[in-house]
Chain A
Amino acid sequence: AQSVTQLDSHVSVSEGTPVLLRCNYSSSYSPSLFWYVQHPNKGLQLLLKYTSAATLVKGINGFEAEFKKSETSFHLTKPSAHMSDAAEYFCVVFSGGYNKLIFGAGTRLAVHP
């Protein structure tokens, strides 16, 4: 069975410092992985996706993620945090079959001035 584990429920950074949100996955075959962002009381927006092409994936708003099969990880990074990055971030694995997504529990990112 596929699953994702987000290792931190909350992350707090200062504006202008790097962001690291950690995600480990479990999958019996090569997975498709995604990061979504959710601002308060809003729907989800796709940040980036990995579908077995390049292992370093670039997304919107300066975010990127690296797929590491040996570590079963798909961590999300950004070199310099902005106040507008404060939101909840979800790591997601595609379950195959009927386009089902399996969500991690989420990481809430706070950005301080």
Chain B
Amino acid sequence: DGGITQSPKYLFRKEGQNVTLSCEQNLNHDAMYWYRQDPGQGLRLIYYSQIVNDFQKGDIAEGYSVSREKKESFPLTVTSAQKNPTAFYLCASSGPSGVSYNEQFFGPGTRLTVL
């Protein structure tokens, strides 16, 4: 089955710790995205990557970091610099860039809670 997987489904972090959220896709998509979702708000873009070894900051990148060493994988690290990390994190991917629009396919999400 083609799709996007995120792990873990639930993650608990102590204050001051860095944690890494996994996102893997087998759709052969070039582009990948990380969003943050808070209650009563729409999704906000953290980082995105159009191709391997390249990524750009989204609207709320502070306190987060990413890497794109493989086409299939786009892990997100939530660092201790992120002051309010408790949220639902969604990963997405889409097909080739350079066209007017490609549907973004979403993973099932990771719920991060800071203790």
Contact = CB atoms under 8 A, between A and B. Distances in A.
Interface stretch (B13-21, B62-70, B104-112): B104-112
Interface string B42-81: 1111001010000010100000000000000000000000
Contacts of B107: 43
Contact of B101 (A32, A41, A44, A103): A32
Contacts of A46: 103-104
B53 to A, nearest CB: 16
Given A42-B108, A42-B109, A43-B108, A99 B40 contact: no
Contacts of B50: 98-99
Contacts of B111: 41
20 contacts: A32-B100, A36-B106, A41-B111, A42-B108, A43-B4, A44-B43, A44-B90, A46-B103, A49-B103, A94-B101, A98-B48, A98-B50, A98-B56, A99-B31, A99-B97, A100-B58, A103-B42, A104-B42, A105-B42, A106-B41
A90 B43 contact: yes
A43 B90 CA distance: 7
A43 B109 contact: yes
B94 interface: yes
Nearest to A45: B106
A27 interface: no
B114 to A, nearest CB: 18
